[in-house]
């Protein structure tokens, strides 16, 4: 039930739907992706060993971001690297999306509360903005 939003060239996003449920640890990203996302469900009493993360030098190109939809509905529009519209999906409360490649835009379909996590540090205005897809061209997958 993990959704991969892609076409022949790009993996736009990975979605963990609100109703996804599986016991144990499930990484939804490949090992070489610069931002890792996992789903975990463990029974009461499960112990995860105490640990800390060692300093590791990493070189990261691009910015990936994770959105947690806490309330409402949002349409996410996906674009290729040439700003050509590809497709759209609708997310609802409880859904989680990892934005991987290409461009994206959003329209709140209901009052929307979402949390965003992305790589830092913040580098100022690092976005290229472009016109959104016209309403009559939207294709929801």
Residues 16-66: pLDDT tens digits? Answer: 999 999 999 999 999 999 999 999 999 999 999 999 999 999 888 888 999
In a domain, 137, yes or no: no
Straight-line distance from the first to the last Cα atom of the chain, in angstroms, rounded to the nearest whole number: 14
Quick one: average pLDDT of 2-13?
96
pLDDT of 122 higher than 80: no
pLDDT of 74 higher than 90: yes
Banded pLDDT at 90 (limits 50, 70, 90): very high
pLDDT score for 119: 85
Against a cut of 0.75, is the pTM above it?
yes
pLDDT score for 55: 95
In a domain, 81, yes or no: yes
In a domain, 103, yes or no: yes
pLDDT of 121 higher than 90: no
Q: Domain total for the chain? A: 1
In a domain, 41, yes or no: no
Q: What is the span of the domain harbouring residue 107?
A: 1-28+67-128
In a domain, 45, yes or no: no
The average confidence (pLDDT) of the chain is 94
pLDDT of 89 higher than 80: yes
pLDDT of 125 higher than 90: no
Cα–Cα distance for residue pair 131/54, rounded to 1 Å: 42
């Amino acid at each position: 039930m993990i959704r991969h939003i892609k076409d022949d060239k790009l993996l736009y996003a990975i979605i963990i739907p609100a109703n996804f449920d599986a016991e144990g640890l499930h990484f939804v990203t490949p090992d070489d992706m610069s931002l890792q996302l996992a789903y975990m469900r463990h029974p009461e009493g499960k112990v995860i060993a105490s640990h800390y993360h060692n300093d590791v030098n990493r070189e990261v190109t691009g910015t990936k971001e994770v959105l947690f939809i806490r309330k409402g509905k949002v349409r996410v529009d996906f674009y290729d690297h040439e700003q050509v519209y590809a497709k759209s999906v609708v997310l609802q409360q409880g859904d989680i999306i990892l934005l991987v490649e290409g461009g994206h835009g959003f329209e709140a379909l209901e009052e929307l509360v979402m949390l965003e996590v992305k790589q830092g540090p913040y580098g100022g205005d690092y976005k290229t903005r472009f016109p959104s897809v016209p309403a009559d061209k939207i294709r929801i997958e």
